[in-house]
Amino acid sequence: MDKKILTVFTPTYNRESLLPNLYKSLCSQTNHDFLWLIIDDGSQDRTGELVKKWQADGLITIQYHYKENGGMHTGHNSAYELIQTELNVCIDSDDYMPDNAVELILEKWACVVYKDKYAGIIGLDAFTDNSIVGSKIPENLSDGSLSDLYKKYGVTGDKKVILRTDVVKKYPAYPEYKNEKLVPLGTLYTLIGADYSFLYSNDIYCIVDYQPDGSSHTIFRQYKQSPKGFAYARKIHIKYADNLLTKLKGYVNLVSSALFAKDISLAFKGVNPILTILMFPFGTLLYLYIRFKIKK
């Protein structure tokens, strides 16, 4: 098998009906210098059989890895352990890539002289009608972090992050907690962004097929169901907060997560205990508010 430059990886769980659309888009790429890594997170449908057929067809290079169900972040952990190519990008099972996406990614990366300076590329997501998710990246910006885009420059909407594999492997895996299925994926980008810059691009790398429902009900349920995962994320946000207000909000959310986890010590470990105490009443109010919203 020829050495590829890019791995497109897809964590999936019972998405047999959706994967063919992504597969079709990958087969249609104008540049096939990539492999597709499918991380099957314990699917109980016929995903495995479908992938075997595609592998036999030989239209693109496919690597398949089956694991016990653990949630999206555990799928990313497995992918980062397995990936050997220079670059990688996650494309979810309900999304797909424009026909020229791989070509655009590799062309952008090939033009970089001092690659060691960069952790990868940040590009655009678009909806199925080709409209941009959120806003474009200002044309006068060439590089920076993901958080800079949102906090400093007012960019909105999900963006597609292409990562250097050797950089990813320098950072700790997402923690995996018993009976929890979620750790916010953005924590890794925050950690990397503190040490490296990303190249910015207004090329569209991914077509997303979701409808933002804006439902706080779903988000609040996640807060309750994965409190340790969110506590981990809050501590990272606190550490890298660029102003006091953002830091204090992090403490409020951390206290709420600790209460849902029934482990108050979570709100004190690895952070400033004085700020935890000061924000404890507000965190308790948030905890009660979330419980109220979930019951509605």
In order of start, what are the domains of the chain with their CATH numbers?
6-207 (3.90.550.10), 216-295 (no CATH)
The answer to whether 135 touches 155, Cβ cutoff 8 Å, is yes
Q: Could you tell me the two tokens for 192? A: 């990397």
Per-residue burial over 220-243, b if 16 or more Cβ lie within 10 Å, else e, is: beebbebbbbbbbbbbbbbebbee
* H or E element in which residue 202 lies: strand 197-207
CB contact set of 59 (below 8 Å; sequence gap of 6+): 27
**Nearest Cα residue to 102 out of 214, 194, 26:** 26
Question: What span, in angstroms and rounded, lies between the C-alpha atoms of 150 and 267?
Answer: 27
**Amino acid (one-letter) located at 242:** D
Kindly give the parts of the chain with pLDDT less than 70: 1, 211-217
